[in-house]
Amino acid sequence: MSFLLDFTQHRARVLMNAPISCYNETILTSEVTSLKTAYIHAKLRHPHHDAFIVENGQFTVFGKTIHVLKHDYDTVVDLAHHHVLPGFHDSHLHVLGIGMIRGIFSAAGFARIDALIEAARNHPADPLIGRGYHESQFTPSRSLVRTDLDQISTEKPVIIYRVCGHMATANTVALQAAKQLGHPLPADPDSFDLESGIFKEEAIEWLTRIVPHPSHEQLTHELLDAQAYLLSLGVTAVGSDDFAIYKMPFEPVTDAIEALDAAGRLKIRLYEQANLPVLEDLQRFIAKGYPGKRFNRYRIGPLKLLADGSLGARSAYMSQPYQDRNTRGIRVFSPERLATLVQTAMAAGMDFAIHAIGDQMVEELCELAETFPEETRMRHRHSIIHAQLARRDQIDRMQRLNLGAQTQPIFINADLPVLPVALGERMRDSYLFGSMLRAGVLTTIGTDAPVESPSPFENLYVAMTRRSIRHPELGVFLHDEALTFDEAISAYTHLPAYLTYDEARLGRLKAGYRADFIVVKGLIPARPDSLLQTHVLQTYIDGECVYQRPE
């Protein structure tokens, strides 16, 4: 079925180079966005609206179809009674990481380690880099170790990351190559083990120095590949940490994104979460004038730091030891070093968005925020990324301190089997996203892709049902923490725009806002199960159709 009255060709298209009409094959100039386009017969959440007009990339009129068609317009798009939603704004992921992982060995989906080994043997890359395994996928359940990777190759380096990216395993050849570079071993002896070949958190950098830096062309390809994928999922804006994907200076990454933006090939709105854990790098970043810098679709956002690890790797920093390990996890920064980085960034006008999963790391971020004058706290829009093990008693404190929470409900997919093993009874103080939102904490939704799938519909399903898609047999986890459809959509659209200071222009289907919206098929808001069959038909940014699903 055609959704545009003068639609003549049906095929998927992601618009990377020149503006190309979604409703015909005519190559147009940028004046396409100046057209007044009436979209009619839409399903909107407003009970009295089913149509709207877009002009100059902005919503101008909403109402009933019969009334909207009385306004001036140049062309009409019939949406055939499909749902229209604001474009999704994934508050935290890694665009470059999505592109990178789509070009390396995928360690996901193997039920047996020997099957993973056999598949990896046939991969031509040298060095061979892989990512994506979760120990719960294996029978029996365990992490990859050096001797597993030695079975893949004894001639080339092999490094395979756990799905979270906070833990990596190396084969003997990779360890020998790293040693030959002459760098001292990581300072924290708990962060690596040469016998098992397992490295965690900052210790991973000792390994990855053997991996060549990507070229400008490779970075460009990976960014565009990731963008195409995200647009097909209805994601129109992202908070993206791209500096940490490759262990290299930030300049090649910013140069690649800026070049795409300048050429009009960056369609998605990319708000950089600048991962700069080394003070000298942060100072260089500030000296070059990056804080607050705005291009077209690319903007520089907060200082991003990884303050602890992950639950699965048992490196999230906890107030009490894990149930199954005699460790509290890893604190990446000393309090003094963390405060210095944050104060340096704030002096340059930057907010912070700090990864903290363990309850003790959340506690230390609250303590840091309490050192700021109240006026400073309220002026900035700081946030904790993940906050998945924040305790109930910490939620009101986060609200009082004006600390937002960038959450990932979709983590329940993989973590639900891990929670009772790692936390025991403490699992009831985890993933309290409904409580956060209702207590007044600025709570947003993202995926942390490629750690998890970037699919908004899978994420919404988990947020609304509190069920794991991978492990449905485990049932509902803390039902009272489920979000309603409208709460989840708000946390995926308008609330992330607040973190980027765009709450008056992005994230709503409302006159005066930018026309970032998606047309979807299969959605029944009252039935969360329908989300798993929902797909995007069209994605629009500034009124330009940047993705169309093939018929």
d(CA 106, CA 131) in angstroms, rounded, equals 6
Strands (E) located in 364-510: 383-386, 404-407, 443-445
Mean pLDDT confidence for 440-445:
99
Does pTM surpass 0.85?
A: yes
pLDDT in tens, 40-65: 999 999 999 999 999 999 999 999 99
- Out of 9-18, 427-436, 446-455, 534-543, least confident range: 9-18
pLDDT for the residue numbered 156: 97
Query: Which part of the chain has CATH 2.30.40.10?
Result: 13-86+511-548
Phi and psi, residue 18, nearest 5°: -105, 150
Check if the beta carbon of residue 52 is closer than 8 Å to that of residue 62: yes
For residue 443, give Cα distances in angstroms to 14, 88, 456, 495, 520.
31, 15, 16, 7, 24
For residue 186 the two structure tokens come to: 């990581």
pLDDT for the residue numbered 551: 78
> Over 60: is that where the pLDDT of 18 sits?
no
> Over 50: is that where the pLDDT of 32 sits?
no
**From its phi and psi, is residue 188 left (phi > 0), alpha (psi between -120 and 50) or beta?**
beta
> Over 50: is that where the pLDDT of 236 sits?
yes
Q: Locate tokens 């093990």: which residue? A: 389
66 class by beta-carbon count within 10 Å (0-12 exposed, 13-18 middle, 19+ buried): exposed
Cα distance from N-terminal residue to C-terminal residue, the chain: 8
The CB density around residue 414, as the number of other CB atoms within 10 Å, is: 22
Mean pLDDT confidence for 167-173:
97
Query: Which part of the chain has CATH 3.10.310.70?
Result: 101-208
Phi and psi, residue 351, nearest 5°: -80, 175
pLDDT in tens, 104-129: 999 998 999 999 999 999 999 999 99
| Identity of the residue numbered 226 | A
| Greater pLDDT, 348 or 189 | 348
CATH architecture of 101-208: Roll (3.10)
| pLDDT level of residue 34 (50, 70, 90 thresholds) | confident
For residue 295, give Cα distances in angstroms to 235, 298, 482.
20, 5, 37
pLDDT in tens, 299-332: 999 999 999 999 999 999 999 999 999 999 999 9
- Taking all residues of the chain, what is their mean pLDDT, rounded to a whole number? 93
| Identity of the residue numbered 306 | L
CATH of 13-86+511-548, one of 2.40.37.10, 3.40.720.10, 2.30.40.10, 3.20.20.140: 2.30.40.10
> Which residues have C-beta within 8 Å of that of residue 295, sequence separation ≥ 6?
258, 261, 262
pLDDT for the residue numbered 33: 58
Q: What percent of the chain has pLDDT over 90?
A: 88
For residue 407 the two structure tokens come to: 């959450």
| Greater pLDDT, 208 or 441 | 441
Mean pLDDT confidence for 438-456:
97
